[in-house]
């Protein structure tokens, strides 16, 4: 792929987060309007604002459209097996605690095949930042049902509508032991950046669930246009503070967004581990 003719320094001057992009790998494989790009941009902006250099970031993913993100990220990147990203990331983080380690994943990847790894990484409270693209569907494999597909929605494997209940990812993560849990959307791009920033800053397991439209596959199956999908997020998500004040009957169908849970008191896993090593090995690493 050809790189744009504008010199890199000029681009980075205007948009400093561009320094995290592997521009020569562009264009991305994502469909027009897909929300993954928004989440990726928010992640790069968050890193930039936190001033974390490329050489200090590892990004690990599994398999799916969302999991293609590390290929476009100019850091230490691993595109692994379906659902297993948290395991590779755990190994990497334990061995190199100094790296900011981000897991980029999808709803099918993280919660179906990878459900077990997801909850155990949360339970350990290991310092990973998980950006989970919840697009309610299996995008990469062409639109099969996912553990987060809304009940009643159509997918290629639910031609009569989905009759399974949805996972509430945030509640699942909190129950499993995650210490920072937030929900954003691809529509609320700047808010999303802030949520990811706080997630990266947080020392412990952070989950940022990103409601994101799969414009082509989910949209087509459920007769929603790109615009309708973005507007759906605008209309149906409410900042968590406002949501908490809503009476029960008005909450139906609405989704809270923002920081849903934050606990700074629990010890982080790599720190616990390495303190023990220092004690046992007499300080050597």
Partner 1 sequence: MAKLELKYGNHACAEAAIIAGCRFYAGYPITPSSEIAEKMAELLPKYGGVFIQMEDEIAAMGATVGGSFAGLKSMTATSGPGFSLKQENLGYAFMVEAPCVVVNVQRGGPSTGLPTQPGQQEIMQSLWGTHGDKLIPVFYPGNVQEIMEETIRAFNWAERLRTPVVLLLDEVLGHMRETVDMEQFASDKVEIWDRKMPDVPPEEYLPYKPGEDDVPAIAPYGTPGYRGHATGLHHDYTGFPTTDPETCQELIDRLIRKVKNRQPELEKNEEYKLDDAEIAIVTFGTTARAAKTAVDLAREKGIKVGLLRVITIWPSPEETLNKLAKSVKAILVPELNMGQYVLEVERCAKGEAPVYRLNRANGKIIYPHEILAKIEEIAKGGK
Ligand X SMILES: Cc1ncc(C[n+]2csc(CCOP(=O)(O)OP(=O)(O)O)c2C)c(N)n1
Contacts of 110 (CB under 8 A, 6+ apart): 62, 83, 85, 86, 118, 130, 132, 169
Smaller CB distance to ligand SF4: residue 105 or 135? Answer: 135
Read off the tokens for 16.
């400093």
Smaller CB distance to partner 1: residue 15 or 56? Answer: 56
Whether residue 92 contacts residue 78, with contact meaning beta carbons closer than 8 Å, is answered with: yes
Which partner in ligand SF4, ligand X, partner 1, none is near 84 (CB below 5 to 8 A by kind)? partner 1
Contacts of 53 (CB under 8 A, 6+ apart): none
Read off the tokens for 281.
């090995």
SS3 (DSSP) at 55: helix
Q: Which residues in the chain belong to E strands, given as ranges? A: 57-61, 76-79, 100-106, 128-134, 180-185, 206-211, 237-239, 255-262
DSSP state of 139: T
Distance CA 276, CA 270 (A): 10
Which partner in ligand X, ligand SF4, partner 1, none is near 174 (CB below 5 to 8 A by kind)? none
Residue 274 CA to its chain's centroid (Å): 27
Only segment of 87-95, 103-111, 169-177, 181-189 that touches ligand X (CB under 6 A): 103-111
Smaller CB distance to ligand X: residue 138 or 187? Answer: 138
Pattern 79-118, binding to partner 1, x per CB under 8 A? xxx--x-xxxxxxxxxxx-xx----------------xx-
Peptide linkage before 27 cis (omega within 30 of 0): yes
Residues 111-170 that bind partner 1 (CB under 8 A): 116-117, 120
CB of 178 to partner 1, least distance (A): 15
Residues 21-60 that bind partner 1 (CB under 8 A): 25, 54-56, 58, 60
CB of 262 to ligand SF4, least distance (A): 29
Residues 182-241 that bind partner 1 (CB under 8 A): none
3 near partner 1 (CB under 8 A)? no
Alpha helices in 152-223 (DSSP H): 169-176, 189-201, 217-221
75 near partner 1 (CB under 8 A)? yes
281 near partner 1 (CB under 8 A)? yes
Contacts of 212 (CB under 8 A, 6+ apart): 34, 35, 36, 38, 39, 66, 133, 134, 135, 185, 186
Which partner in ligand X, ligand SF4, partner 1, none is near 215 (CB below 5 to 8 A by kind)? ligand SF4
CB of 123 to ligand SF4, least distance (A): 28
140 near ligand X (CB under 6 A)? yes
Which partner in ligand SF4, ligand X, partner 1, none is near 131 (CB below 5 to 8 A by kind)? none
Smaller CB distance to partner 1: residue 91 or 165? Answer: 91
Which partner in partner 1, ligand SF4, ligand X, none is near 30 (CB below 5 to 8 A by kind)? ligand SF4
Distance CA 265, CA 187 (A): 32
Per CB under 6 A, residues contacting ligand X are 63-66, 82, 106-109, 133, 135, 137-141, 146, 214
């Amino acid at each position: 792929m050809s790189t744009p003719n504008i010199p890199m320094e000029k681009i980075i001057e205007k948009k400093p987060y561009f320094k995290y992009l592997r521009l020569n790998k562009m264009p991305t494989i994502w469909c027009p309007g897909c929300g993954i790009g928004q989440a990726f941009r928010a992640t790069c902006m968050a890193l930039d604002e936190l001033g974390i250099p490329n050489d200090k970031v590892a990004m690990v993913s599994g398999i799916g459209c969302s999991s293609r993100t590390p290929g476009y990220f100019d850091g230490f990147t691993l595109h692994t097996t379906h659902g297993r990203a948290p395991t590779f990331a755990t190994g990497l983080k334990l061995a190199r605690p100094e790296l900011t380690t981000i897991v980029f994943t999808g709803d099918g990847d993280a919660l179906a095949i990878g459900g077990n790894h997801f909850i155990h990484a949360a339970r350990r409270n290991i310092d990973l930042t998980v950006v989970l693209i919840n697009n309610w569907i299996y995008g990469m494999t062409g639109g099969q049902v996912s553990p987060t597909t809304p009940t009643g929605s159509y997918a290629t494997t639910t031609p009569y509508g989905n009759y399974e209940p949805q996972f509430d990812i945030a509640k699942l993560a909190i129950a499993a032991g995650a210490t920072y849990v937030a929900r954003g959307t691809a529509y609320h791009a700047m808010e999303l950046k802030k949520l990811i920033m706080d997630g990266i800053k947080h020392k412990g397991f952070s989950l940022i669930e990103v409601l994101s439209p799969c414009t082509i596959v989910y949209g087509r199956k459920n007769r929603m246009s790109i615009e309708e999908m973005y507007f759906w997020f605008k209309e149906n998500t409410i900042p968590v503070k406002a949501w908490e004040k809503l009476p029960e009957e008005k909450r139906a169908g609405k989704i809270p967004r923002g920081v849903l849970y934050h606990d700074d008191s629990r010890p982080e896993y790599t720190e616990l581990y390495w303190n023990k090593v220092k004690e046992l090995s007499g300080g050597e690493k």
